[in-house]
A and B are shown apart, each in its own frame.
Chain A
Amino acid sequence: MSKKKDQEKFTEYSINTDDAWEIDDNTMSLNILDSNFNDNSEICKQTNAEVPPRTANQQQSSTVVLDSSAVRKPTDVNSSTYPGIIRRVDDNQNLKASLSVRYTNNSNPNSFSTANITRSNLATIVDVDQPKQNKFKEIFDQSTIDLEKLRKTSWNGITKQYRAQAWKLLCGYLPPKVERREDTLTRKRDEYWSYVSQYYHTRTDKEHQDTFRQIHIDIPRMSPLMAIFQQVVVQELFERILFIWAIRHPASGYVQGINDLLLPFFAVFLAEFINNDVDIEHFNIDSLSESNRRIIEADSYWATSYLLEGIQDNYTFAQPGIQYKVRTLEELIKRIDEPLYRHLKNQNIEFLQFAFRWMNNLLMRELPVRCTIRLWDTYLAEQDGFSHFHLYICAAFLIRFSKDLLREKDFHGLLLLLQNLPTQSWTSNDISILTAEAYQLKVMFANAPRHLSNS
């Protein structure tokens, strides 16, 4: 790969993520770079020494990022001069509001319950970013989708109109060649429904009834996430998908939390069949034809299967994937936010006590559904997004609340805050910041694995 191309790549990345730096807020964005690169110059040197020059790309990106001046920090908040970035004025207002409700000592963290939110979970899925829309149109107008281009464009968020198609492509479910799609989809959908007729009746068998009972208990309890789960048809759809997946994957089976992971796929694939102005949460699923419901169900099954394939060790016995990731997160935080790490340790907080859920449910319990969907645009666009990049997202997420956490002076206050981090008013902008910060971390650490082990 040529250097020139890499430079272009980085420029493109920095333009794509410009919106992350646009928000001029002292409490977030580039503080990783600004403070820690100075403090940890030793580590930086080490990084450079340790990174083997495997590809020019890796070298290029790490050197570019080390120079923080390379990342533009626009001063004009309302600037729309960057290609692909047009933000409505009220978006900025939303953002201001979201920043002002940061946790303070006076408020009771327990009052942060998703049930209190009146705003629709999915309100911000409707995206009116026209230049971005055009970019996607250009990609989708081709008879063969350029997957690499789709990845790059999707990384920074997908517009609602193209999201379902893009997700299916990024999952490897939808073939990039248009002429192959119909056959493939018909075959895969039939395959799912043949599993259903083959296995679903076994849910009452002795060997499977515990699995089904657990699923059956958990699905109605998803209503706090999304009102649509009050509809029996939706509950049954989820039960079928999860049961079929569980018995086809006996190494892990069904584990609580997997049900959450199905939700974004379902919501996005359902949205494809709904007019823009109809609220998905309160959409009456019976108004869809049965054939359309069967399509949504089969597609959700395959997309969820793809996702779980990459993180199955999160759910096998003793959940080794999660234990490993929680340990790695702890190491990361130790490197990038030592004061926070020391504070948590001094108060006897163990990372497993709060980060277990972050890994098990991919932060879905910590973020509004609309934010999870935006985050998954990036996860699906990243290589190993759910299994690997998620770790850096978790690190960026934790240090976002560093100041609030440092203000908590005891174990109880800390753990209550850690379990109820105030994200209710978060928008896709917050996720864009998070993904950009996580990207920085990934570049810093991913090419120097020894950093994480020689503590």
Chain B
Amino acid sequence: MAREDEYDYLFKVVLIGDSGVGKSNLLSRFTRNEFNLESKSTIGVEFATRSIQVDKKTIKAQIWDTAGQERYRAITSAYYRGAVGALLVYDISKHNTYENVERWLKELRDHADSNIVISLVGNKSDLRHLRSVPSDEAKSFSEKNGVSFIETSALDSTNVEQAFHTILTEIYRIVSQRQIQDHIGPISPNPPIHLPPTDPDFKSRQNTTCCS
């Protein structure tokens, strides 16, 4: 059986933010429970998936990890198309990566769907002694901009599950709400943003998802 049939919803989520803030490690921690202190820089975009359960529904997250360097912007922004969620990551120990958050928000406004769900993620929370971005400051910034906020550590796993679950659940609520309301979803042909629930009798085969 093709894997395409093994989920109820497919959500495309992008990971964006400055170079070196830990986007790839957040992704590998979430999809494979792996962390590399020195992982290769991402070139262009890289891709991974993982499925989670919400309300007894299987949600498959298709996560696009993007290169942080400015020069790649022209290429990577094409991947915002069709994304229903974005994790905007900065490094709590590097203030300049936080200062650039506004520019990243603008990127999303310019290139992504206007309904995209955004979450601000302060990564490397394990580096307490090097913190240069106070949690309160980032929290009030996120409230002002109407996005959610969480601090994570891909290194020690703190809140990584939480960060992905929160955004996926929020997307799920919006999408299922909308489905009840008007019976249609924002379908983009390539790739699909989400699929309507499959046959309820069909049992998802958890153990065959490629990234669990």
A residues bordering B, Cβ < 8 Å? Answer: 108-110, 115, 210, 214, 217-218, 220-225, 253, 255-257, 315, 317-319, 348, 352-353, 356-357, 360-361, 365, 409-413, 415-416, 419
Contacts and interface: CB of A to CB of B under 8 A. Distances in A.
A217 B19 CA distance: 8
Given A319-B75, A348-B191, 20 more contacts: A109-B210, A110-B31, A110-B32, A214-B19, A224-B36, A224-B39, A253-B71, A256-B19, A256-B71, A318-B75, A348-B190, A352-B78, A356-B43, A357-B44, A365-B43, A411-B4, A413-B3, A415-B47, A416-B47, A419-B46
B39 to A, nearest CB: 7
Prevailing SS type, chain A contact patch: helix
A303 B42 CA distance: 25
Contacts of B49: 412, 416
A255 B75 CA distance: 13
Interface of B: 2-4, 19-20, 31-32, 36, 38-49, 62, 67, 69-72, 74-75, 78, 190-191, 210-211
Contacts of A409: 2-4
Given A365-B43, A419-B47, A319 B74 contact: yes
B40 A225 contact: yes
A60 B68 CA distance: 49
Given A315-B71, A348-B191, A361 B2 contact: no
A419 B31 CA distance: 15
Given A348-B190, A413-B210, A317 B74 contact: yes
B63 to A, nearest CB: 11
A253 B70 CA distance: 11
B71 A115 contact: no
Contacts of A225: 40
Nearest to B73: A318
Contacts of A318: 74-75
Given A110-B211, A256-B72, A410-B4, A221 B40 contact: yes
Contacts of B78: 352
Nearest to A224: B40
